[in-house]
Structure 1
Amino acid sequence: MKSLRFQRHHLSTGQQGFSLLEMIAALTILTIGSVVLFSWLGQTMGQLTRFQLQETESMARIQAVQFLSNQNPATAPSGKQLFDQFYLEWTSSPISETRESVSPMDGLGLYQITLYNVQSKAFHHDGREWFTFSVRLAGYKQVRKPAAEKPF
């Protein structure tokens, strides 16, 4: 009889689960870990968003510079161009004196050349200014006609 009572007492005092204190400690550790993880994820997502915005702006700048490099500021000193993600406005002003071009055969060339400073502004489609930049471009005007070609 003694041995049966001892077994019951031993089973009732042994550990059969978590105590409330252990559960609170585990939840506290889990909460702290979750806060750190979500904070890190939030920062990473913020950095990713900023990177994507910078990449979009860089691609728009490249597109704008490529477009302007094909423009002649002597014949189109200002203008506006619509793109998929933005529109571009530019104005140009001469920053050097006009010079005559030179032809290796006839002396004077067909064109007059001037260096221009082109100020550009990019806008979102809703009209908000996005970014600005300036480039220097050569402008040219044809002032002479080519000499008539003579056959051999």
Structure 2
Amino acid sequence: MKSNRFRLRYLSAGQQGFSLLEMIAALTILTIGSVVLFSWLGQTMGQLTRFQLQETESMARIQAVQFLSNQNPVATPAGKQIFDQFYLEWTSAAISETRESVSPQDGLGLYQITLYNVQSKAFHHDGREWFAFSVKLAGYKQVRNPTADKPF
């Protein structure tokens, strides 16, 4: 009986390291954790890329609208403008009848004014269409010269 007790104590006291089953369990837990972590990182990087592309497009739209708001559709009814990240093409069509402007003294003004619908498209520099939008702009044309006593 003494020899059996000695053997049991010897085996449990001398056992060191991991068993194969413990190693497989640890690797399985590590693998599951890694898959979840890499999946989360992949989604986060994808969202970051989408946000950066949306921000770039928003800034380009703002730049295009600001440029077009300074254009007179009567003088430039169509055109092309090159920017750093894209180029813009536009065409305009009158959507209202031409009207006379009014001076502060209730007389005829110097200009005729027409409302235009400006269709624009933005393209990457390689020619791929990026985005399109339309904006309504007032076009004006000077038809009278100011007199010396009435500057408007």
Q: TM-score, normalised by structure 1?
A: 0.91
Match of 2:92 in 1: 92
Q: 1:32 — aligned with what?
A: 32
Q: Which residue does 1:10 correspond to in 2?
A: 9
List per-residue Cα deviations over 1:45-92 (Å, max 9, x = no partner). Answer: 001100100000000000000000000001100000000000000000
User: Where does residue 66 of structure 1 map in the other structure?
Assistant: 66
2:122 aligned partner: 122
Give secondary structure in 2 for the equivalent of 1:39.
helix
Percent identity, please. 87
Q: Structure 1 residues 47, 54: CA separation in 2 closer, same or farther (over 3 Å shift)?
A: same
Q: How much does 1:11 deviate?
A: 2.8
1:134 deviates by 0.1
Q: Which runs of 4+ in 1 moved over 3 A?
A: none
CA RMSD, 1 decimal? 1.7
Structure 2 residues without counterparts, runs of 5 or longer? none
1:127 match: secondary structure: coil
Deviation at 1:9, TM superposition (A): 5.1
Shift of 1:148: 1.9
In structure 2, the residue corresponding to 1:75 is in which secondary structure? coil
Residues 7-61 of structure 1, C-alpha deviation per residue, up to 9 Å, x if partnerless?
x752333332210000000000100010011001001100110010000000000
Q: d(CA) in 1 for partners of 2:136 and 2:10? A: 90
Alignment coverage as a number of residue pairs: 147
Moved more, 12-21 or 128-137: 12-21
- What residue is the counterpart of 2:81 in the other structure? 81
Deviations 1:76-131 (A, max 9, x none): 00000000000000000000000000002260000000000000000000000000
* 1:22 alignment counterpart: 22
TM-score when scaled to structure 2? 0.91
Q: Distance in 2 between matches of 1:109 and 1:11?
A: 111
Unaligned runs of 5+ in 1: none
| Range with bigger deviation, 127-136 or 11-20 | 11-20
